[in-house]
């Protein structure tokens, strides 16, 4: 790749394949497309995909559209979201259909990704994008060969991102299946949480009373539990309590403690648990809508609880006890009446080591995905004008 950062007053991208020279041309999008129109397909039963503003939303018996098309979300929070498709399908009326003539559809797709239409739409203060707005966009284009080479490179990267997402999905499914298969074993000791777990009081501090820059004591808010993708927690990333709001009484978390989310709008998230596994970065307490538990009988190894408290059979018990209509909640008493199967410590260690190995593999693949996405973002910014 040739770096053109030092090129002055030339209509060329910062990053370019070395075999291409000369300035790019500027075209008006409305002049290089065959049509820009809204979809018209209604949801129904059928064999063809029905596309909405952000993806497939259903099926349709009749394909109103076919071929390679660029779809642009027209209204709402996702206005400007782009999809590149090539098939027979239906398309709803909240989506604009762009059919180019003078540039490859794939090139136009990546060029508009580079522009970030969503940002442009919301910059106008109106969550709406129209065909008229699209037609006025200036498109920078090189030769047909250069357009194709740029598109092919970004397509290869997109294929790798798709593959990486599939790897992550399979690993997540495998870990979940292993947890359920390994930990629901009635031949082990059946222990109710009331027999070995002690639950401490937690604070009710809101986000306004927390800070990522000030304070000394870190605070685990229940919203963070729902956001964690693994069963362990790194306290170094938790916010701190502003000094004027530090509670008079509190219990510090220690390695092996567990925090449960006691409220959620989703029954699949109610009672979600994370365990404090590694060395705690600083003094940490559990906060709003959390239940702080500790194994006071030393029945479990560090790491085991983070898995067993997220197993299907345990969560099924929690879900049956949850109360509420729109927002579901549980209490420490609810948790105390639930049970888990606990094997001997040596077997716990083997299980934790196995599951940790898969968790580390999952973490590595997520980091790879992030790197691919960063690379794509960089190329989109540097290979277009």
- HSE of 264 in the Cβ direction (CA atoms, 13 Å)? 22
pLDDT digit string, tens, across residues 186-205: 999 999 999 999 999 999 99
User: In this structure, is the dihedral angle defined by the CA atoms of residues 229, 232, 237 and 242, taken in order, positive or negative?
Assistant: positive
Average pLDDT over residues 300-309: 96
CB 233 within 8 A of CB 186: no
Identify the structural domains of the chain with CATH numbers, from first to last. 25-141 (3.90.220.20), 186-342 (3.90.220.20)
> Is residue 126's pLDDT more than 80?
no
> Is residue 40's pLDDT more than 80?
yes
| Structure confidence at residue 3 as a pLDDT band (50, 70, 90) | confident
pLDDT at 279: 59
- HSE of 164 in the Cβ direction (CA atoms, 13 Å)? 18
pLDDT digit string, tens, across residues 128-171: 899 999 999 999 999 999 999 999 999 999 999 999 999 999 99
pLDDT digit string, tens, across residues 94-109: 999 999 998 999 999 9
CB 282 within 8 A of CB 254: no
Q: Percent of the chain scored above 90 by pLDDT?
A: 83
DSSP 172-227: HHHHHHHHHHHH--TTSEEEEGGGTEEEE------GGGEESSS-SSEEE-HHHHHH
pLDDT at 343: 98
Q: Cα 248 to the chain's mean position, in Å?
A: 37
């Amino acid at each position: 790749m040739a770096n053109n950062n030092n090129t002055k007053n030339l209509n060329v991208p910062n990053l370019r394949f070395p075999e291409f020279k000369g300035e790019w041309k500027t075209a008006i999008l409305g002049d290089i497309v065959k049509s820009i129109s809204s979809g018209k397909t209604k949801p129904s039963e059928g064999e063809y995909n029905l596309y909405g503003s952000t993806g497939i939303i259903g099926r349709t018996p009749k394909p109103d559209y076919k071929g390679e098309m660029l779809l642009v979300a027209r209204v709402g929070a996702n206005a400007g979201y782009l999809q590149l498709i090539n098939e027979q399908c239906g398309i709803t009326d909240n989506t604009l259909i762009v059919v180019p003539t003078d540039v490859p559809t794939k090139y136009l797709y990546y060029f508009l990704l580079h522009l970030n239409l969503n940002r442009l739409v919301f910059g106008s203060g109106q969550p709406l994008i129209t065909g008229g707005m699209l037609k006025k966009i200036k498109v920078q284009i090189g030769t047909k060969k250069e357009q194709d080479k740029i598109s092919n490179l970004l397509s290869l990267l997109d294929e790798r991102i798709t593959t990486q997402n599939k790897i992550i999905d399979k690993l997540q499914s495998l870990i979940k299946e292993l947890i359920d298969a390994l930990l629901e074993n009635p031949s082990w000791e059946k222990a109710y949480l009331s027999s070995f777990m002690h639950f401490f009081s937690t604070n009710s501090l809101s986000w306004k009373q927390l800070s990522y820059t000030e304070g000394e004591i870190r605070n685990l808010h229940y919203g963070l539990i729902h956001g964690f993708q693994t069963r362990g927690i790194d306290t170094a990333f938790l916010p701190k309590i502003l000094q004027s709001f530090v509670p008079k009484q509190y219990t510090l978390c220690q390695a092996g403690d567990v925090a449960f989310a006691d409220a959620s709008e989703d029954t699949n998230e109610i009672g979600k648990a994370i365990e404090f596994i590694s060395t705690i970065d600083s003094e940490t307490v559990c906060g709003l809508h959390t239940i702080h538990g500790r194994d006071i009988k030393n029945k479990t190894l560090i790491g085991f609880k983070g898995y067993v408290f997220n197993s299907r059979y345990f969560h099924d018990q929690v879900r049956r006890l949850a109360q509420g209509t729109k927002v579901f909640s549980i209490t420490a008493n609810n948790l105390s009446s639930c049970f888990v199967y606990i094997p001997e410590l040596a077997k716990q260690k083997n299980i934790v080591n196995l599951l940790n190995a898969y968790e580390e593999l999952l973490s590595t693949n997520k980091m790879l995905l992030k790197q691919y996405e960063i690379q794509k973002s960089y190329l989109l910014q540097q290979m277009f004008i």
